[in-house]
Amino acid sequence: MDGAILQKGMYINGEEVYAGDLFAVENPATFEKIGYVADGGTREAQMAVDAAHEAFLVWSKKTAYERAAHLENWFQAISERTEELARMITLEQGKPLIEARGEIAYANSFIKWFAEEAKRVYGETIPASSSSKRILVQKQPVGVVAAITPWNFPAAMITRKVAPALAAGCTVVIKPAPATPLTALLLAECAHEAGIPEGVINVVTTNDAAAVSDVWLEDSRVKKITFTGSTKVGKQLMEKAAKTVKKVSLELGGLAPFIIAEDADINAAVKGVMQSKFRNAGQTCVCANRIYVHENIKEPFIDAFKTALNSLRVGNGFEQSTDIGPLINEAAIEKVKGQIDDAISKGAKAIRGPKADERKGFFIEPVILSGATDDMACMREETFGPVAPVSTFSDDAEAVRRANNTPYGLAAYVFTKSLQKAFYYSENLEYGIVGVNDPLPATAQAPFGGMKESGLGREGSRHGMDEFLEVKYISIQL
């Protein structure tokens, strides 16, 4: 092993912990090893819950104002290390540096938002039907929370869970994706610097996700599982959580329809689909996955879309000209290529954008698939890549029917200038998030989450606090 590069232990009970083995973290744009990280197992998983449980007894008894102050200090520490954090995201995940900087700001906005929400965890009194009784309702933290997070937003998917958990008075054990553990450890370092007490935040890095998460799922001291990732894994976690009736929040896969109504501003629609489709190389759960354009405006839309596609640059995220970085791994490349081949075999026409310079890396050029039909894999399965299938529709009812014809229900988009169409679509689309002329709706102030098999619960907004709180009814007989 090259001793010159980064070597990091886990962060448990305020200390750096090694487990004997290490696993490598590689740059998806160059295949270079950027660091080695401790490969935790069941012992470290247990240690983390022990630490979080001990810390919960004190952290949960702090006032909301004390917890808010700690979160504000964490926010400040992250703000001061934004560039370092952003560069780590680009190194281990590949996204363009400008997007990585944006992710740190987005991640930090949850810490700022929930530092404020901590002070607004209101209870209530309810008029009793008996004159000799008084009814109180209090909200209390659920306890130790286990967070299992993905590689596509290695910072934001952690703070979107940890910030409300800490604000509510919970403590956390985190298992980041093995592809992007270094960002998670840097966030923990910022929390340590900010003075968040030992045991409140714990990070267990591992190449054996199931071994670590099974310890947490079986431990009755862990009261909640919060997960972002594939629907397949989300279902497995939900099933295992049932054994100890843990609370569960799931942000799972999407299959976002992007509908362009007959009256839409075509240039605005093209700009919107470029932002939604190609952000993070298409590796977001809310990316436009299926583009439905009214048949009467298909040609001008495709022409404008093709021009915009050709302006994209594929390359290393550290190069200022890069719009699309690498995908996360070989399996992602194979999955995306498979969907493209399937579409072409079923009659789609591929309009390919610029290739990456010939060099290493999990690069794939962006592509529009014109003439897409709903039987194609790219129209039925989450792509997680820079592929834009375009299909036409004749009327709004058809567009809604086809958009809803999926087990997924995370995000949907509609571009129109008509108020009537805006309300028709937004009220009839079966999705937790509907962007009306807005391709980038995600923000800390708003509830983010899916319907159907795209998940359970909401992250962000005041709703994000409820996921980490128990509602206690206190009845007093006078």
Ligand X SMILES: NC(=O)C1=CN([C@@H]2O[C@H](COP(=O)(O)OP(=O)(O)OC[C@H]3O[C@@H](n4cnc5c(N)ncnc54)[C@H](O)[C@@H]3O)[C@@H](O)[C@H]2O)C=CC1
Ligand Y SMILES: O=C(O)[C@H](O)CS(=O)(=O)O
Least Cβ distance, residue 411 to ligand Y (angstroms)? 8
Residue 438: Cβ-neighbour burial (10 angstroms; 0-12, 13-18, 19+): middle
Is the distance from CB of 382 to CB of 341 less than 8 angstroms?
no
Ramachandran category for residue 474: left, alpha or beta (phi over 0 → left; psi -120 to 50 → alpha): beta
Nearer to ligand X, 137 or 210 (CB): 210
Q: How far lies 373's CA from each of 171, 369, 376, 396, in Å?
A: 47, 10, 6, 17
Binding ligand Y by CB under 6 A: which of 206, 228, 339, 370?
Answer: 228
Q: Where does this chain touch ligand Y (CB under 6 A) — which range of 151-159, 162-170, 260-268, 368-376?
A: 151-159
* 163 belongs to the binding site for ligand Y (CB under 6 A): no
Nearer to ligand Y, 50 or 92 (CB): 92
Instruction: Tell me if residue 36 falls in helix, strand or coil.
Output: strand
Residue 379: Cβ-neighbour burial (10 angstroms; 0-12, 13-18, 19+): buried
* 150 belongs to the binding site for ligand X (CB under 6 A): yes
Give the 3-state DSSP-derived string for 47-95, with helices as H, strands as E and coil as C.
HHHHHHHHHHHHHCCCCHHHHHHHHHHHHHHHHHCHHHHHHHHHHHHCC
Site string for ligand Y, 185-224 (x = CB under 6 A): ----------------------------------------
44, 99, 189, 285: the active-site residue: 285
Nearer to ligand X, 177 or 372 (CB): 177
* 17 belongs to the binding site for ligand Y (CB under 6 A): no
- Cβ neighbors of 117 (< 8 A, separation 6 or more) are 164, 167, 462, 464, 465
Nearer to ligand X, 233 or 270 (CB): 233
Binding ligand Y by CB under 6 A: which of 165, 285, 291, 399?
Answer: 285
285 is catalytic: yes
251 is catalytic: yes
* 149 belongs to the binding site for ligand X (CB under 6 A): yes
Nearer to ligand Y, 284 or 392 (CB): 284
Least Cβ distance, residue 310 to ligand X (angstroms)? 26
Instruction: Tell me if residue 340 falls in helix, strand or coil.
Output: helix
99, 103, 189, 251: the active-site residue: 251
Q: Where does this chain touch ligand X (CB under 6 A) — which range of 52-60, 173-181, 363-371, 463-471?
A: 173-181
Neighbour-count burial for 11-35, b at 16+ CB within 10 Å, e otherwise: bbbbeebebeebbebebbbbeeeeb
Q: How many helices (H) and strands (E) does the chain have?
A: 14, 23
The residues with which 444 forms a beta bridge, in sequence order, are none
Least Cβ distance, residue 103 to ligand Y (angstroms)? 7
State the residues that interact with ligand X by CB under 6 A: 148-152, 175, 177-178, 209-210, 213, 228-230, 233, 236, 251-253, 285, 382, 384
Query: Applying CB under 6 A, which residues contact ligand Y?
Result: 152-153, 157, 228, 251, 284-286, 442, 448
